[in-house]
Amino acid sequence: MSRLLKICFLLMSMNHAEITHSQNSEDLPPLLHKAVEEVITGKYLNALLDILHFQSSNVWTADMLTKVMAYFHAQEVMFTLSSLQMSIKSYLKNLLYQPRQLLSEFQQLDQQQFQTAMKYLFNSRKDHLEVGNIILDWDKTRERIFQSPGVNRTLFLITLDKCFLALSALDCVDILSQVLRVSAVNYLQPDVVGSLPNILLEDAFRNLSTVFKDLYDKTSANTQRALYGWMKQILQKSCNTSEFNESTSWVSAENLWILGRYMVHLPLEEILKISLNEIRLFISYDNATKQLDTVYDITPELAQAFLERINSSGFDMRNTSTIYRLGLLVCFYDDTEQMDAAVARALLHQMIKCNQLRGFQAEVQKLKSQLLNIAMQNQTLNDILGSLSDAVVGLTSSQLESLSPEAVHNAIATLNQVSGWTKSQVMILSSKYLSYEKVLSFYNVSQMGTLVTGISTQSFYSMNPKELSQIIRGTTSQYLSDLSPAQQQGILRKIAASGDFSSSVKDIQGAFFKEISLSGLWKQTGYNSSMMKEKELRRSQALYLYELLSKKNYPVDLLSTGQLVKGVTCQLIESMGTDIFLDNFKFFEMNLHLLSPYQVNCLAWKFWKVSNASIPPFLLLVLPIEYLEYVSGPLCVSFIGSLGKTEMDLLNPSLHKKNAVLQKVQECLNSSVADEYDVELLGNLICHLPPAFLHGRMSLKAMATALHQFKLCQQLNHEQKTEIKYKLLELYGSPNNWTAETTLDVGPFIALLSKGELNVLAEKFPDIILQIAKTIGPISSAEELLSTVFESISSSTANIESSLTRPDCLGTSAPSSDEIIKLAEANVFWSVQALKCMDAGTFDKNVELLGTVSGFNSSQLIALKEKAKQVWGSLPDWKSYHIVSLGRIALALTEHEIEQLDLHSIDTISVLSQQTEWTLTQARSILQGFLEDSGQTISTLKSFDLVGLGAILCALNSTEILSLRTAEFSAAVARIGLLFCSTPVLRQFKQMTESVFGTATSWNGSVLQEIGTIAGGLNEDELKAFDKKLMPYFQPIAIRCIPPEIFQALSPEQIANLGPENAAMVTRSQREHLNASQLQSLQLALDGARTSTPETQHSASTTQAVQTPAPSVYTGQVMLASMLMDVLQCSLFEWLRHLVVCCVYTAPAFLNPRLLSLSVPELTKEMLEIKSCSSA
């Protein structure tokens, strides 16, 4: 913004001496004279725009600025260079941080000034503006303007208010389009839609309608309804009113096309009135199918009304060409009587897109099932498998098991593209396909697409290593991240054993690379920075690779890869030169989500050391609390804005510090969230506002905008949710009066309503309530809502009794497939008796979905397990895919029942190990079953076996652990380090780890990161022996695993160096074992205090924790000194020389931190009272 001022006044070419001769206004061109008068009255924005307009058609002459300054003098306005420049710069700069004031300023612009502003902001094609010898990077300036909090909202509102009166409608539509793409969901509220012009030329209306169609998914349901109303109003005006009445519709083919996705808001009766000629014309449009493919939120009633009109208009609804034109309307096709099999297959082919619908999946599955039966008339499943599209997902495991290998082979081109397979289905189909192919090769695997996840780990391990290397490089690599950790480990272990690993490492991309062990990386060579750009790294890998690559690469080459920032240590940050650090800081900022809180803390201290005046405000969060004093006045906006764009939980502040930060935020907001501007400034911070603040300090105006932001919050507590509920009731009134759109907008927060209120909504909008409930999650978060959904669904089918003829099932309403699909987590409310009475076919079809219900109790799980026995036969007959499909139901298996299962496959074990509720005896039975059925012993287990066993490994005894092979253990150690085993087991794993990485006292940071919870097995002496600099490299989950009596052995210095994240993981019982000195050190770590001075950062002999002084007075000096250097455009040395030699007597005023709290006008007045160097 300072360069903008140089454009206005050519200050770079101006002499510091004041101009003293008189000047008449007649010597100045009228527009320039107007600008000068605006400067005198403080209307700097108006002046800037007038001068920009003046220079667009006039050439600056050498004496023009002289005349301007002379006029100032003639008006007895005693501006000095520094005071004038500082006043204008501060004023314009602060406008960017005061968007409400900016709106007011814009509203006062005359038409010419407004046109100039819009021209330079939105229509200027110049990258740079040149005035004399001044070159302005206009692109960068504009970018900064648009990134300022609230400025985009101001531009949006002022465009609505003034643009259509000052510019052409097409230009205004273009401007609205640019602004709305930043945040349509916040700007386009229903009340704002009412401000849209209701008279527009056709081209402008079409363009603006297109903008709204593109932004459909980014707007609320109430806004969508309001925009539909606005479009309808204009479209009706454009119709000849005499041409339509109560029996005819204003909806023409062209109007349907203009409405686009907003066509779903047409009332049912309006659809039924649409002229058949217009419907015929619309469906004939080439783009009709594309439009109908996007009506994701259409309801069955509206879809069927459209289908009825299309049918009545003369289209043959069973013609393949017509079916292809129907888009998502096919999902609600309801005329299946006497349908030909070919028509059914054509419909199934089109229904592959129905999974994009918002809800109604149970109805879709039912229709697919009907069409599937029709498509199979007089044909076998083997014959038509490849023509059933994704309806094959609806086949039961027994139907898939009946397929021939040849049929699966012939249909693979269709099967490999289908999404939505369950794990058991994929296992069956993969097995069928591979049994036909006989040999597993690169070509065969590349044909499998999504089915590649069904290949067994042992099959991968049995492949030729060169073929596996081709898989890593080929198109199949996109599916590798979908493989289980055991499957990935099987591939890596085989390639590593072949000796061809080094050449393959560079080809391993994405998350798959994270499965390479640290010891595996050590053995390879040939790494370079460019090969790291497409890989995801564990922190242990990044620490090793950054240190290795830093010997031959510049920091910019390593940091620009993204993932390698995980490997930057505090020592490396501290050793960076100032210029290198500041130049590369952008890479840290861009990858903040990859950094640990400890790394962010190190960055903050480094920034404070080298350039505390320009430290990014969000970094103050990780410094000790007293550094928040730095935030006041103008810094408030940038502080809140930067924190709002950051996930505060990523920075992991302690509760005490978090409360202090939130208190500072409230101070900066003057203790209220007044309107939309405050909501946008807060960003993610809104998720952390305390309940009391939400209750008394958030206006209803702000709440309307905040609702969308609240829905994005991941961890609102009960008290916050309660206050949000009361705000919503205040905003929208009683739920008894809510519309469908309001219910959709409130979304997951309906779970906070009372049972009575939920019953009202469920009766009015059952489909919407069902749609919302699907997104809610476990029962603990929404018991009343899920209960309401269950009652609503089950009562609508209460007359359907169990098909079982058992006496105990008479009168029992058993779950149907439709109900199970609709209910999802709400299936938890089925009684044990209802589950026992479930039809065998229903169970077989839905077992996998039932296995995902997190709320089933042990009695329900036992009932489902017994049902599985009835359906699948005795336990020894169960296939691997049966066991895998059980999900949580498997938890009901007793130790004796587990012994009867066929557990030979590590892939079966891998799925079982994902359940976290096994008892130790159950886990032991699974382990024994796997060893016996696979014919292995502990000493023959491969790394992929260890990875697949997962939490089951916690059932190993000490003898078994020590019999593991070192090479296999080392390849799996990172996965084992994620387990929460008992302390005795961790101690044995620690002993095994020493056989890989050497004695514990020799471990470095990357090893500590690699082994995770295994570090919880360290003994007292080993823990005490660690250098304090290594304490941050313990994984946070490892800290919790250290027994309290061992944890207390840490010295105060070690504890002070834990880092904020590890300190936050210290448990209550661990704290209780610490003495006062240790607790004080723990608080230092939590606060992010500096634990060593820069000079002694590397010295092992430094033991005394040193805190940097609080910033109070120093902050004032730094900020004001920086401001004055900016104003005077001189170096630090020059400024100090001026200060000392010329202005000694003014120094106390310059360094007065009180100036920081002044407003811009007050600050300007203060500075004018301080005599300039030239006059001194």
pLDDT tens for each residue of 809-826: 888 889 999 999 999 999
* Crossing angle between the packed helical segments 64-74 and 30-40, to the nearest 10 degrees: 50
Residues 408-428 have pLDDT tens digits of 999 999 999 888 899 999 999
Structure tokens at 97: 């941080």
Report the alpha-carbon distance of residue 315 to residue 312 in Å, rounded. 7
Which of 804, 809, 829, 811 lies closest to 819, judged by CA? 829
Over 80: is that where the pLDDT of 155 sits?
Answer: yes
Taking residues 876-894, report their average pLDDT.
Answer: 96
Which of 55, 37, 43 lies closest to 109, judged by CA? 43
Residues 103-154 have pLDDT tens digits of 999 999 999 999 999 988 887 777 676 544 456 677 777 787 887 778 889 9
Which of 884, 891, 841 lies closest to 863, judged by CA? 891
Higher pLDDT, residue 528 or 227? 227
Spatial contact of 224 and 741, defined as CB atoms under 8 Å apart: yes
What is the three-class DSSP state of 879? coil
Report the alpha-carbon distance of residue 428 to residue 398 in Å, rounded. 10
For residue 1136, the model assigns a pLDDT of: 39
Over 50: is that where the pLDDT of 1119 sits?
Answer: no
Report the alpha-carbon distance of residue 1002 to residue 883 in Å, rounded. 44
Over 80: is that where the pLDDT of 1173 sits?
Answer: no
Over 90: is that where the pLDDT of 1003 sits?
Answer: yes
Res. 241 pLDDT band, cuts 50 70 90? low
For residue 245, the model assigns a pLDDT of: 62
Strand partners, 134: 131
Spatial contact of 1118 and 614, defined as CB atoms under 8 Å apart: no
For residue 136, the model assigns a pLDDT of: 62
Taking residues 211-215, report their average pLDDT.
Answer: 93
Q: In angstroms, what is the C-alpha Rg of the chain?
A: 35
Over 50: is that where the pLDDT of 1097 sits?
Answer: no
Report the alpha-carbon distance of residue 1009 to residue 539 in Å, rounded. 7
Average per-residue pLDDT in the chain?
85
For residue 1102, the model assigns a pLDDT of: 31
Task: Return phi, psi of residue 1057, to 5°.
Answer: -100, 10
% residues pLDDT > 70 (the chain): 87
Higher pLDDT, residue 795 or 273? 273
Report the alpha-carbon distance of residue 254 to residue 432 in Å, rounded. 51
Over 70: is that where the pLDDT of 1142 sits?
Answer: no
Higher pLDDT, residue 497 or 1036? 1036
Report the alpha-carbon distance of residue 683 to residue 663 in Å, rounded. 16
Q: Which of 27-31, 809-813, 934-938, 1135-1139 has the highest mean pLDDT?
A: 934-938
For residue 693, the model assigns a pLDDT of: 93
For residue 9, the model assigns a pLDDT of: 41
Res. 797 pLDDT band, cuts 50 70 90? low
Taking residues 223-230, report their average pLDDT.
Answer: 96
Res. 724 pLDDT band, cuts 50 70 90? very high
Taking residues 163-192, report their average pLDDT.
Answer: 87
Taking residues 1003-1023, report their average pLDDT.
Answer: 96
Over 90: is that where the pLDDT of 586 sits?
Answer: yes
Task: Return phi, psi of residue 360, to 5°.
Answer: 65, 25
Residues 297-340 have pLDDT tens digits of 999 999 999 999 999 999 999 999 999 999 999 999 988 888 99
Q: Which long-range contacts (CB under 8 A, 24 or more apart) does 238-246 make?
A: 238/202
% residues pLDDT > 90 (the chain): 62
Res. 28 pLDDT band, cuts 50 70 90? confident
Over 80: is that where the pLDDT of 706 sits?
Answer: yes
Report the alpha-carbon distance of residue 1030 to residue 1007 in Å, rounded. 10
- Between the two ends of the chain, the Cα-to-Cα distance in Å is 29
Residue 1108 per-residue DSSP state: P
Res. 186 pLDDT band, cuts 50 70 90? confident
Res. 1143 pLDDT band, cuts 50 70 90? very low
Higher pLDDT, residue 243 or 195? 195
Residue 1109 per-residue DSSP state: P
Over 50: is that where the pLDDT of 15 sits?
Answer: no
Residue 514 per-residue DSSP state: G
Residues 659-679 have pLDDT tens digits of 999 999 999 999 999 999 999
Structure tokens at 684: 């993610």
Structure tokens at 31: 């527009």
**CA–CA distance from 130 to each of 52, 59, 133, 143, 1032 (Å)?**
11, 12, 7, 18, 52
DSSP 285-320: STTHHHHHTT-TT--HHHHHHHHHHHHHTT--TTSH
For residue 280, the model assigns a pLDDT of: 95
Taking residues 215-235, report their average pLDDT.
Answer: 94
For residue 807, the model assigns a pLDDT of: 80
Res. 523 pLDDT band, cuts 50 70 90? confident
Residues 354-403 have pLDDT tens digits of 999 998 999 999 999 999 999 988 889 999 999 888 899 989 898 999 99
Report the alpha-carbon distance of residue 1080 to residue 1053 in Å, rounded. 10
Report the alpha-carbon distance of residue 952 to residue 923 in Å, rounded. 5
Over 90: is that where the pLDDT of 920 sits?
Answer: yes
